[in-house]
Structure 1
Amino acid sequence: MPDCTHWTVSNSSRSAAPVARLSLGALRRYWHRAKGTITSRMGPPLKLPTHLLLSPALWRTFWSLEMPAKAFTPWWRLLHDRVPHRSWCHKIMPTKVLSPAFALCGFATEDLYHFVVGCHVKSFFWQDVVSLLSLQELLPSASSIWLALTTFCNASDLLVIDEDVLIALGAAYSTLWKYHWRCVIDEEPWIASAAINMVRQDHGTLFSSLSLASVQAGTLALPVNSV
């Protein structure tokens, strides 16, 4: 049998790995007919088929995260594109949902990306959360937060994010979900200070237990965006 030790598989534009050292799962992903889609950068709005978003290993990571039970369902719905945003509701129930416009801002179409991070009120919310957790370097923009929530990777090098950061993001998203539906159902305006105070109330103890830089969930003074 010929020597195959020189066989390699490209794992980025600048590096390669010996075939002999790869797992069967890595080889299957490399030869997958949708490899180009799997390895493409995520961007707004959601582009990848939902079954390609996370590998089995990342799904195991998801279910092992030590975050409140109530945080799993909203995040699971996001990962499976099962969030009842206005675009989807208008498409299937046009006589009941008369417009795809976002109920809280009124002028932009609410798709999945807009629901989570795209709207300016959600963008301000995430800015406050990131400031609270001192994660500005890791999560500098709405698109980086979107990437973290949908692929568990950071935007700079697509490496998997630390589990404590994922726990904090999942917990914060569960509060965004709760406050969003409270505002929509009760027809109340989104108030930035109320949203971040709810995050502190819901998850202050959790945040203080995580290994994050300079987390001061109970005392950190945040700039409040008036929305």
Structure 2
Amino acid sequence: MNKYQWKTFWKLNIPHKATEIWWRALVGKLSTKARLHHINPARYPSPLCSYCGDYEDDRHLIVLCKRKVQFWRAAFYSLQTQVIQGHDLWEILMFRKKVNTSIMVMIGKILLIVWQHHWQTSLEDLPWRTDHALKRLASSLQMEGYNKN
């Protein structure tokens, strides 16, 4: 990323934890199954996604897992905004596709919920539930005083 993109990133009005997760994605340091398996195969015997069985790299963990695709689509729909999916969403997250700052802020807030719900369900060995993730998003936005209109 260039200097301007980094400045834009650090100025985004998103929760600190969302900034941390997004930064880890930008520098290729997310705790994916593939990365954990590579570092410690005894503790993480498989590089495959717990939800769909595909190879879990950074892009898969955040946007390409079938369960996460459903959630991103539903989150954009519930926020009454254009649905951004898969490859385009990843390109925006990586600052390779430009969108306005308000869309980036929304993406950052949704990203945080993806991360939180992913790890809560993974650690508790529960299935991914898009409806639960949407409730978490709504609650988070309500606490911030977010208004769709």
TM over 0.5: yes
Report how far residue 135 of structure 1 moved. Answer: 2.9
Unaligned runs of 5+ in 2: none
Larger Rg: 1
Unaligned runs of 5+ in 1: 1-53, 154-159, 209-214, 217-227
**Counterpart in 2 of 1:144?**
88
Whether the 8 Å CA contact 1:152–1:166 is kept in 2: the answer is no
CA distance in 1, matches of 2:22, 2:88: 16
RMSD of Structure 2 on Structure 1 (CA): 1.6
**Counterpart in 2 of 1:110?**
56
Whether the 8 Å CA contact 1:152–1:161 is kept in 2: the answer is no
Equivalent position amino acid for 1:102 in 2: C
Report how far residue 104 of structure 1 moved. Answer: 2.3
Q: Deviations over 1:86-124 (max 9, x none)?
A: 11111121111111111222x211111110111100100
Aligned length: 148
Residue 166 in structure 1 maps to residue 104 in structure 2? yes
Identify the structure with bigger relative contact order (alpha carbons < 8 Å, sequence gap 6+).
2
CA distance in 2, matches of 1:180, 1:69: 18
Moved over 6 A (4+): none
Aligned to 1:89, which of 36, 39, 62? 36
Q: Deviations over 1:131-173 (max 9, x none)?
A: 1233336x2x3111111111162xxxxxx21111111100110
Whether the 8 Å CA contact 1:183–1:189 is kept in 2: the answer is yes
Aligned pair in 2 of structure 1 residues 82, 206: CA closer, same or farther (>3 Å)?
Answer: farther
CA distance in 2, matches of 1:78, 1:128: 22
Report how far residue 207 of structure 1 moved. Answer: 3.9
Identity of aligned residues (%): 25
Equivalent position amino acid for 2:46 in 1: S
Residue 56 in structure 1 maps to residue 14 in structure 2? no
CA distance in 1, matches of 2:141, 2:18: 11
Greater percentage in helix: 2
TM-score by length of 2: 0.91
Equivalent position amino acid for 1:60 in 2: K
Residue 193 in structure 1 maps to residue 137 in structure 2? no
CA distance in 2, matches of 1:175, 1:79: 18
Equivalent position amino acid for 1:86 in 2: K
